[in-house]
Amino acid sequence: MISLDEKRTPKDLSGKLKRFWELSEQKINLIDSKYDESKGSPVFTVAGEYTTRGWTEWTQGFQYGSAILQYDATGDQQILERAKRQTLTKMAPHVSHIGVHDHGFNNVSTYGNLLRLMREGKMPFNEWEKNFYELALKISGAVQASRWTSIKTGGFIHSFNGAHSLFVDTIRSCRALTVSHELGHVFQGEGDVKISMLERALLHIQATAQYSVFYGEGRDSYDIWGRTAHESVFNVKDGNFRCPNSQQGYTGFTTWTRGLAWAMCGFAEQLEWLDTADEVTLTPFGGKAALEKMMLKAAQATCDFYIEHTPVDGVPYWDTGAPNLYKLGDYLAKPADPFNDFEPVDSSAAAIGAQGLLRLGKYLTEKGNTAAGEKYTQAGLAVVNTLLDEPYLSTAENHQGLLLHTIYHQPNGWDYVPQGSKIAYGESCMWGDYHIREVCLYLQRMINNESYYTFFNCVK
């Protein structure tokens, strides 16, 4: 269980954040100068150098989005201009990509962040540039919404595995639909039928809460509060749920911790957006109170599970049911060991999950539930405090990654295992590097009393 003994504030991390952004700039420049983009999007490092891995193109937005976050944190104009140029010349195929469920990753991280900076006044206003970013976000949301499977309880955005497949991580791509809806885009189908992207976003969130998260009650009374399944499988002919499954975790009955983290972050930020939505707009979909209750339950359950099933320093192993964890003894009562001989940790799950903990903590505190809010806030700060130090922060000048000891796909054996080791360790990934930057920016803007950082700042 994560140790919550210390009472930290974001300001307590100021010194570490200064060092972090210095290292972050070095890594961004190193990748730009060394990585050959003709090979495809950079995905993860092998012996410290970024390489690609063909599955789907879901990481390029994190690469250029990282540079945009760097500008937000430091004001480095050169990095911003490079990121804008890269977004313009490289990201268009991601806007129209009908084969992935990752539009919230690729396009909100680039076009969305650029539009946000312009709306916040941190980047000069330009009418045509604004229109360009808005158009990209409108279309991206519609393309994402088109990956639709209807089920008896509503529907969901299906994964690249097929129409039967609901991935827990797609919860964070719902923001692509939310942004497109907020920009007033009209999504049309056959016969000019107008399709509500707000409805599809809310139904997907509901399906994720109902089928991807377990609560130890009803259908899953055999299970425990807050566990998640990576994939939920449906019969596409009759719309019935069939079983939990996992692609990147150990099994459908254990918790792949990065999938858990996507749920933590996704539910928390959608709660924040819901709080700004108009009651009249939400009435056809059950009303704000019912939607909040559903999202809050899922957010608290997943965050509780993370706190209780993660080592004291806040960094989880790659799956809470990984088969060799028992060989580590009472591993939850001590800091995670990325150099052990049995199971790898996944610091990218920690970087993603930390943001969910912090956002949920702030949300509950502002709603008057200060005790619960403090618990989640302290857990999030504890995780970030760990990640901003060695052995997780990459300080070697020739290592292109920023956050060390991440895992991509343990079941497929894709991660680099150093010579003499029995497990993968010491490497970075694009989503881990992006999300540690994002949570650090989140905290830095708090310290500097800047406007609160959300994905929907680009439209509100």
289-326 pLDDT, tens digit per residue, is: 999 999 999 999 999 999 999 999 999 999 999 999 99
**Is the peptide bond between 10 and the residue preceding it cis, with omega within 30 degrees of 0?**
no
220-246 pLDDT, tens digit per residue, is: 899 999 999 999 999 999 999 999 999
Q: Considering the domain boundaries, does residue 4 fall inside one?
A: no
Q: Distance from CA of residue 413 to its chain's centroid?
A: 22
Question: Residue 55: is its pLDDT beyond 80?
Answer: no
Q: Say which CATH number the domain at 454 has.
A: 1.50.10.10
Q: Provide, for the chain, the percentages of residues in helix, strand and coil under a 3-state DSSP scheme, each rounded to the nearest 5.
A: 55, 10, 35
Using an 8 Å Cβ cutoff, are 17 and 393 in contact? no
Torsion, Cα 364 365 371 377, to 10 degrees, reads 90
**Separation between Cα atoms, residue 143 and residue 121, nearest integer Å:** 29
Q: Considering the domain boundaries, does residue 5 fall inside one?
A: no
Domain of 128 in residue numbering reads as 10-458
Question: Residue 110: is its pLDDT beyond 90?
Answer: yes
Give 53's pLDDT tier (boundaries 50, 70, 90).
confident
Closest CA to 259 of 60, 438, 442, 431: 431
Q: Considering the domain boundaries, does residue 17 fall inside one?
A: yes
Q: Considering the domain boundaries, does residue 261 fall inside one?
A: yes
Read off the pLDDT of each residue in 361-375 and give the average, rounded to a whole number: 97
Average pLDDT, the chain: 97
Q: Considering the domain boundaries, does residue 1 fall inside one?
A: no
244-255 pLDDT, tens digit per residue, is: 999 999 999 999
Q: Counting beta carbons within 10 angstroms of the beta carbon of residue 249, is it exposed (0 to 12), middle (13 to 18) or buried (19 or more)?
A: buried
DSSP state of 1: -
In 80-183, which ranges are E strands?
148-151, 154-157, 165-167
Question: Residue 6: is its pLDDT beyond 90?
Answer: no
- What's the number of CA atoms in the CB half-sphere (13 Å) around residue 369? 13
Question: Residue 360: is its pLDDT beyond 80?
Answer: yes
**Separation between Cα atoms, residue 316 and residue 171, nearest integer Å:** 20
Residue with tokens 């539910």: 267
H-run or E-run covering 49: strand 49-51
Q: Considering the domain boundaries, does residue 3 fall inside one?
A: no
Q: Considering the domain boundaries, does residue 347 fall inside one?
A: yes
**Separation between Cα atoms, residue 263 and residue 454, nearest integer Å:** 16
Question: Residue 383: is its pLDDT beyond 90?
Answer: yes
* pLDDT confidence of residue 5: 81
Backbone φ and ψ for 157, nearest 5 degrees, come out as -80, 115
Backbone φ and ψ for 47, nearest 5 degrees, come out as 50, 40
Q: Considering the domain boundaries, does residue 172 fall inside one?
A: yes
Give 93's pLDDT tier (boundaries 50, 70, 90).
very high
> How many domains in the chain?
1
